[in-house]
Chain A
Amino acid sequence: MFLSDNAFFFLIAWEIMALTTYLLVSFEHEKEEARNAGVLYFVMSHIGTGCLILGFLLLFQASGAYGFDGFHAIGARMAAGPRNAAFILFLVGFGIKAGIVPLHIWLPVAHPAAPSNVSAMMSGVLIKTGIYGLTRVCFDFMGPPPNWWGVTVLVIGTVSAVLGVLYALMEHDLKRLLAYHSIENIGIILMGLGAALMFLHTGHPVLASLALIAGLYHTINHAVFKALLFLGAGAVVHATHTRNMEEMGGLVKRMPVTAFFFLIGAVAISALPPLNGFVSEWLTYQSLLQGFGTTPSLIRLMFPLSGAMLALTGALAAACFVKAFGITFLAQPRSAHAAGAREAAPTMLVAQGLLTAACVFLGLFPTLVLKLLDPVTQQLAGLQLSTRLSLADGWVLSGAVATGGTVSTPGLVLMAVCLLPLPLGLWLVFARGAKVRRGPTWDCGLQGLTPRMAYTATGFSKPIRMIFKALFRPRREVQREYDFSPYFATNLRFESHVEEVFLTRIYRPLNWLVWRVSRRMRALQAGSLQAYLIYIFVTLLLLLLFAL
């Protein structure tokens, strides 16, 4: 699909991809969940393809050929109406594949249902095809964009990022959590693309290139660390036979290598230096913060606003992975499955190790990789940004414009290494003689700690659930059975739910409407020969009368 230079072939490849993914999602077809997920994916994917076909037809009207070279900058020659329609169609079509809010609902269903290696591939490659398509269309085909395109993409990106991470925080299914993080990261990528579109509109090619590169670099990075995390989650699920985090715990002792790799991935996705997630998010920040000065209109408020949202996203992502890592790997095992877990097979570890190495490499030496993105900016703005981005022979990453900041991940590592003697020295001076004493964890005077007392995933995310109450609409239900006092319950049942607003407010009513309409339509196909003949006959008569 990436190689096709023709709309027809592109769509065929696109469909082949969708079909094979459907088969992969419903790979474990004996489970009802996997089948439903497959069907949901199939339906959403086809709605997207329908939009794409319409969009390409609109482009075809203007260019008269299906080749991509004929589409180049075709938007400049199109009237405003079809051009905007094409943009929206492509945004929806590719957005479904990429999983932007509110078209994301297939993602958290399909990812956990698929086998973990497939989820890694889906998150790393499949949803990126949506980004590829959107980039191709917006920057190659559509010509100079009107302002609201960039604003739309930026807003969608911001909303996706924040909502994605918020929903991820509420999950205690490890793979669903990662799926929601995919939505968040797609949002971050789109923030870069949206900002690039806005800069193109205001005529700042350097900043546009910077924002685009930030988005594309984050695309690469997300593919790497999300694949790593999914493989790690797959190893955990394989070992514990459950995806529910509440039943895990204590795995760091039982699967140390997996735990280490998962930790690296978690640090990378939380955008902590010096790993790769940090670099691309830093670039995104740079472009967003520079954006405030590019235009005098009120629109410029968008930039700091989405920058702030990006910061919020980063913080929440870090919180989420503290939870994911802490609940999964730390504390005591909460179930027999977790207690009996074994380290994953060496082949699984090798794959994770390679991706971990890639995470570190992409984090430490971004300037090398950014050179590869030069042709993109060359085509877009006619300038090669990598020379501006790298200072001091590539050891320092700069914000490309004079007012931009600089950062050096190798420098950070170097600094950490240089500072290492300090705690080491302190230890040597003060703690040398102290004896190490091992004792039980402080248990408030109770008789020993049980796994049931450990912090749960639900408990961890409670503060955030309360802060964003309006969004989550949490519902909880407590049933107590007691003999003489409610404080001494004999039996306790506790339930807590989080409402998925998009599912209940948009998709359910839509689904209901479609059912109703199709039930009405069924009367048309009555199975009566006479009725069918009448359809044909009436059509014939109408055509005859129309021709008169």
Chain B
Amino acid sequence: MNTALSSDIASQLIALLAALMLVVQLLLVVQRMLLTSIRLFALQSLFLAGIAGVVAFFHGAFHVYVVVVLTLIGKVLFLPWLLDRQVRRMRIAQEIEPLVNFPTSMLICGGLTLLGYIVARPFTSLERLGNNTLAVAIALVLTGFFLMINRLKAITQVLALLTVENGVMLAAVALTTYGMPLVVELGIFFDVLVGVMILGILVYRIRETFASMDTSKLSQLKG
């Protein structure tokens, strides 16, 4: 296969997958059901794994395969399963109640995505793979952050944090040709894993204590 052609295909694929990640993120913003949200997150992680796979395949960076495998096992299978189980076990209401209503959140997220593109523009020359991957990554981080603010349940906040982490991962892949050094990637990955497990336990405790997962009720803790 011609290298110019293959790198062209690679960047097209990456751009497509990145765009899909963003679409999933926006779906998450307007998703009413908790379990569906978890599945959407799994889907987003799948796309991320796809991007990493494309990078590994077309650029011959074999250590990135490790990232692919870890993402698949961790974020696509294990974490969604964990969260899913927790949600079912605690028998919490499926309905997500956001602070800002859906049309408005959609508008805000649109603005944030735009901001991501504006912020990323000076760095387009640094991007080696695909177009606008960095912009999508920043947009993911910003909307993920907004998602965290907009949700009241602790478990949805964990979910939002995970999407932020996906955005960071995407930026790492986009800015460096072969991804970050393996050690760093492993570090980030295990960070997230341990973080989520701890958060899961905390969420459980919060529910035990307050009979609710609404973090805005945490303010009752202060004197």
A-side residues, CB < 8 A to B, are 526-530, 533-534, 536-537, 540-541, 544-545, 547-548
Task: List the A residue with the shortest CB-CB distance to B99.
Answer: A530
Given known pairs A530-B149, A533-B145, A537-B149, the reply for A544 and B119 (CB within 8 Å) is yes
- Please state if A548 and B222 are interface contacts (CB–CB under 8 Å): no
Q: Are B115 and A530 in contact (CB under 8 A)?
A: no
State A548–B146 Cα separation when bound (angstroms): 21
Q: Name the prevailing secondary structure of the B interface residues.
A: helix
Cβ-defined contact, A548 with B118, below 8 A: yes
Q: Determine if B149 and A533 form an interchain contact, defined as CB atoms under 8 angstroms apart.
A: yes
* B215 adjacent to chain A (CB < 8 Å): yes
Q: Which residues of B contact A544 (CB under 8 A)?
A: 115, 119
B149 / chain A contacts, CB cutoff of 8 Å: 530, 533-534, 537
Smallest Cβ-Cβ distance to A530: which chain B residue: B149
For the complex with contacts A530-B216, A533-B145, A540-B145, 14 further pairs of A-B residues with Cβ separation under 8 Å are A527-B221, A527-B222, A528-B215, A529-B216, A529-B218, A530-B99, A530-B152, A533-B148, A533-B149, A536-B145, A537-B149, A544-B119, A545-B115, A548-B118
- Which residue on B lies nearest to A545, using beta carbons? B115
Tell me whether B219 is interfacial, beta carbon within 8 Å. Answer: yes
Do B115 and A529 touch across chains, with their CB atoms under 8 A apart? no
Cβ-defined contact, B119 with A528, below 8 A: no
Q: Classify the secondary structure of A's interface with B.
A: helix
Give A190 Cβ to nearest chain B Cβ, in Å.
45
The one of A529, A537, A541 in contact with B215, judged by C-beta atoms closer than 8 angstroms, is A529
Taking the closest CB of chain A, its distance from the CB of B136, in whole angstroms, is: 16
Q: Assess the B119–A527 pair: CB atoms within 8 A.
A: no
8 contacts between A and B (CB under 8 A): A527-B222, A528-B218, A530-B215, A533-B149, A536-B145, A540-B145, A541-B142, A545-B115
Q: Mark B207-223, 1 if CB is under 8 A from A, else 0.
A: 00000000110111110
Which partner residue on chain B sits nearest A533 by CB separation? B149
| A544, B142: Cα distance in complex, Å | 11
Q: How far is the CB of B61 from chain A (nearest CB, A)?
A: 30
Q: How far is the CB of A311 from chain B (nearest CB, A)?
A: 57
Q: Is A526 touching B115 in the complex (CB atoms < 8 A)?
A: no
User: Do the beta carbons of A537 and B145 come within 8 Å of each other?
Assistant: yes
Task: Give CA–CA (A537, B221) in the complex, Å.
Answer: 23
The 6 A-B pairs with the shortest beta carbon distances in the complex, nearest first, are A527-B219, A527-B222, A529-B215, A533-B149, A528-B219, A537-B145
- A527 cross-chain contacts in B, Cβ below 8 A: 218-222
Q: Which residues of B contact A (CB under 8 A)?
A: 99, 115, 118-119, 142, 145-146, 148-149, 152, 157, 215-216, 218-222
* Count of inter-chain pairs, beta carbons less than 8 A: 37
- Considering the chains assembled together, what is the distance between the CA atoms of A547 and B157 in angstroms? 28
Q: Which residue of A lies closest to B220 (CB)?
A: A527
**Complex alpha-carbon distance, A548 and B138, angstroms:** 14
Shortest distance in angstroms between B53's beta carbon and chain A's nearest beta carbon?
Answer: 31
User: What are the residues of chain B within 8 A of A540 when measuring CB–CB?
Assistant: 142, 145
Given contacts A530-B152, A548-B118, A548-B119, contact A537 B146 (CB under 8 A): yes
Find chain B residues with CB under 8 A from A547 CB: 119
A528 to chain B, nearest CB (A): 5
Contact status B118-A528, CB under 8 Å: no
Cβ of B145: which chain A residues have Cβ within 8 Å of it?
Answer: 533, 536-537, 540
Q: Which residues of A contact B115 (CB under 8 A)?
A: 541, 544-545
A536 cross-chain contacts in B, Cβ below 8 A: 145
Which residues of A lie under 8 Å from residue B119 when comparing CB positions? 544, 547-548
Cα(A533)–Cα(B142), bound, Å: 12
Report how far A317 CA is from B128 CA in the complex, Å. 84
Q: Which residues of A contact B222 (CB under 8 A)?
A: 527
Q: List the A residue with the shortest CB-CB distance to B219.
A: A527
B98 to chain A, nearest CB (A): 11
Residues of chain A with a CB closer than 8 A to B157's CB: 529
Q: How far is the CA of A548 from the CA of B221 in the complex (A)?
A: 40
Chain A residue at minimal CB-CB distance from B145: A537
In the assembled complex, the Cα of A545 lies from the Cα of B114 at a distance in Å of 12
Interfacial chain B residues near A526, Cβ < 8 Å: 219
Closest Cβ of chain A to B114, distance in Å, is: 12
CA distance A544 to B149 in the complex (A): 18
A533 to B144, CA, bound (A): 12
Among A528, A533, A537, which residue has the most Cβ atoms of chain B within 10 A? A533
Closest Cβ–Cβ distance, residue A331 to chain B (whole Å): 55
* Complex alpha-carbon distance, A548 and B115, angstroms: 10
Nearest neighbor of B217 in chain A, beta-carbon distance: A528
Task: Give complex CA distance A528, B216 in Å.
Answer: 5
Taking the closest CB of chain B, its distance from the CB of A519, in whole angstroms, is 15
- Give the distance to chain B from A417, nearest Cβ to Cβ, in Å: 72
Please indicate the chain B residues that have their CB under 8 angstroms from the CB of A534 in the complex: 149
Within the complex, what minimum Cβ distance (angstroms) separates B149 from chain A?
Answer: 5
The interface residues of chain A lying within 8 Å CB-to-CB of B142 are 540-541
Alpha-carbon separation in the docked complex, A533 to B157 (Å): 11
The chain B residue with its CB closest to the CB of A532 is: B149
What B residues does A548 contact at CB under 8 A? 118-119
A522 to chain B, nearest CB (A): 10
Shortest B138–chain A CB gap in Å is 8
Nearest neighbor of B216 in chain A, beta-carbon distance: A528
Distance of A295 Cα from B82 Cα, bound (Å) = 86
CB distance from B209 to the nearest CB of A (A): 15
Give, as a whole number of angstroms, the nearest-CB distance from B58 to chain A: 32
B112 to chain A, nearest CB (A): 8
Q: What's the Cα separation between A527 and B215 when bound, in Å?
A: 10
The docked-state distance in angstroms from the alpha carbon of A537 to that of B119 is: 15
Residues of A within 8 A of B215 (CB): 528-530
Report how far A526 CA is from B219 CA in the complex, Å.
7
Q: Give min CB distance, A524 to chain B, whole Å.
A: 13
Shortest distance between the CB of B152 and any CB in chain A (Å)? 7
Chain B: CB-nearest residue to A522: B222
B97 to chain A, nearest CB (A): 12
* Minimal beta-carbon separation of A117 from chain B (angstroms): 39
B residues less than 8 Å from A529 (CB atoms): 157, 215-216, 218
Instruction: A253 to B216: give the CA distance in the assembly, Å.
Output: 73
Residues of B within 8 A of A541 (CB): 115, 142
What is the bound-complex CA distance between A536 and B148, given in angstroms? Answer: 11
In the assembled complex, the CB of B213 is this many whole angstroms from the nearest CB of chain A, namely 12
B155 smallest CB distance to A (angstroms)? 13
Q: How far is the CA of A533 from the CA of B164 in the complex (A)?
A: 13
Q: How far is the CB of A78 from chain B (nearest CB, A)?
A: 39
